[in-house]
Amino acid sequence: MIFRILILFIFCAFISNAQVASIKTHDLEEAYTLPDDTNKVIKLLSLCTEYYDINNDSSLILANKALALSEKIKYKRGEVESLFRIGNDYFFLNHQQKAIHYFEQTIIKAEIISAQYWVARSYRQIASIKIANGNYDEAIILNNKGLKIHLSMSDSSNLSQCYNRLGFIYMKSNKSDSAFIYIQKAININIRTNNLRALARSYRNLASLHMTNKDLESSEYYFKKTLSLQKENSKKHEILVTDYKYAQLLIQQKNYKEAIQHLNHGIKLARKIKLLKNLPNYYKELSLAKELAGNHKEAIKYYKQFLHLNDSIQFKEEQIQLNRKTTELELLQLKNLNLVLQQEKEARFTSNNNREKLTLFLVIILIILVFLILKAIRKKDLILEIANKEKILSQKLIAKNIRSEQFNAIKEVTQNHEITKEQIAKELHDELGGTLTAIKMNLMQLKKSDIITKIIAEVGEIASTIRFISHDLHPPLLKTQTFCVVIQDYLSHIFNNTDLELSIILLPKADINKLALNTQLTLYRIIQELCTNIINHSKASKVSFQLIAHTNDISLIIEDDGIGFTISYSTLKKHTGLTLIKERLKIIDGELEIDSHKDKGSAIYIFIPIITTTK
């Protein structure tokens, strides 16, 4: 008996000391105890993904196990993902040639089974290696191959990553304009899909681009937006990168105090999540900030820490690996000890089995009775729940029919409104405009005098005003000119007599000009309304119009640096123009988003599905 108690005590001690490691062993055992080999591969790949951010050596072992099992059972999809995971781990461990080899093998295997998702991701990862080596032209070609596949799959999430990476490549190549266009494309997709984690990465790239262009104020603004998003939506290692880059910006701005705060925060976070390989760079930047702030003593102290960590980080990682292997060995011994205890327990149960049979039988009967009672109660509750759901569904159908009727009514009123505008515009242009032109021609036949010349000029001004009113009511050029020309002419005319600095981007024009006439007219009306608001209320000095066609939709982005407004229900209710825009967008399944702050300008984002037509 004493011997058994001693064994149990040792068992508990082992459990206490190896609690964290036992979770890993349990996961691995769970994978290998699954009945189906395919599910074992899936579980191993799932574990590989979990360990990727923790320990790449462990992730690599799991990926190799998954590959060996996939090849054994001829599970092709498992082979493809395993090869990709192995390449990814080698990439993180800086074994670039091995990483490229496994990514190329992934592409070959994935092409055979038409697994285009893994083909695209492999091209993108090889592009990342090319970026690290400064081969930007090759990186662009490879990234575009991945981009083409994601476009064909309408994969918005990975599209934004492709655009983001293209922006990063062009930024590294000192092609700021191209970098800005692709980063902005990524931002537009992330806003539309509400992918806040990816949006934070795009904002960080935009901040780095502004820092490269020495626009430190804009860079600071986007770094702050990045950190704000990352607090709630990103992993800790992504916040580390942002803290480090933002600290570099603050040092350039000579804001050493705040730079030191961010670097200290990054050091604490790196230690907390055990990402020690980032510590040397943090201490190096911290030494620089202290030196520039005039604190030479602490600068030397932190530089010594940088040198010490830079030399010892590799040794520490090897020591951690050794400790983990030792722990795994102890766990195997513990498992054997647990097996012995379990066998003794089963033997004891067998000796008492006859005595406990009756008790067990009664307990089973009692459990069955309780189960039947609970089942009857649940059945009754289920019937009531179904009845309530049917009632709610009926109410929703009635509400949906009402909304459908309201929507059709709005659509009919809007169409009638446009028809009426077109008729009035035609009468103004053809009837009254023509009459005024005839009067002007007759007056020009009369003997010239100052009064006659003045009358001719006034009639010409009235005819011009009537023509502008007619075109404003219904633009006839939509049926004869390309949409891009109509928009450019309108914007140039409406802002001609103002002090506003106007910027217009229409890309690509060929796709914009193919938009359905109904979509063109809706966009034209929206631009009219927003131009009126900007001129009358914004007090802005700059305004930017961006109309960009994507694969499945078109985005209209209008920004100004005016006084802005606070976004609230009561504020939006006062802006009848915005309400009218929303109603117009409902008819063509469009979406409206507003980003505005008092005294910080406004940004209007409009997304409309593309329905092309041939004029």
pLDDT at 327 over 60: no
Alpha-helical regions (H) of 427-507: 433-445, 450-473, 483-494
Mean pLDDT of 260-287: 80
* Closest to 603 measured CA to CA, from 594, 612, 611: 594
**pLDDT for res 373:** 83
Structure tokens at 65: 């196990």
Domain residue ranges in the chain: 362-471, 478-609
Report pLDDT digits (tens) over 572-597: 666 667 777 888 888 788 898 888 88
Q: Which of 371-385, 492-506, 563-577 has the least mean pLDDT? A: 563-577
Residue 557 has pLDDT above 90, yes or no: yes
> Whole-angstrom Cα distance, residue 34 to residue 27?
11
**Spatial CA neighbour of 532 closest among 482, 576, 582:** 576
Is the per-residue pLDDT at 338 higher than 90? Answer: no
Residue count of the chain: 615
Beta-carbon contacts of residue 609 (< 8 Å; ≥ 6 apart) = 552, 553, 588, 589, 590
Least confident of 184-188, 500-504, 583-587: 583-587
Mean pLDDT of 182-205: 87
pLDDT in tens, 523-555: 888 998 889 888 888 889 999 999 999 888 899
Confidence of residue 445 (pLDDT cuts 50, 70, 90): low
Structure tokens at 412: 């009919």
Q: Which residues contact 231 (CB under 8 A, 6 or more apart)?
A: 239
pLDDT of residue 545: 93
Tens-digit pLDDT profile for residues 30-70? 566 666 788 888 888 888 887 776 677 788 888 898 899 89
Distance CA 388, CA 391 (A): 5
Give pLDDT tens digits for 111-129.
999 999 899 989 989 998 9
Listed residue (109, 128, 107) closest to 119, CA to CA: 107
Q: d(Cα 421, Cα 417) in Å, to the nearest integer?
A: 6
Convert the pLDDT of each residue in 218-238 to its tens digit: 888 988 888 888 887 777 778
Q: State the fold for domain 478-609.
A: Heat Shock Protein 90 (3.30.565)
pLDDT one-digit tens code per residue, 24-35: 555 555 566 666
Share of the chain above pLDDT 90, in %: 10
Q: Which helix (H) or strand (E) holds 523?
A: helix 517-533
pLDDT reading at 207 higher than 80: yes
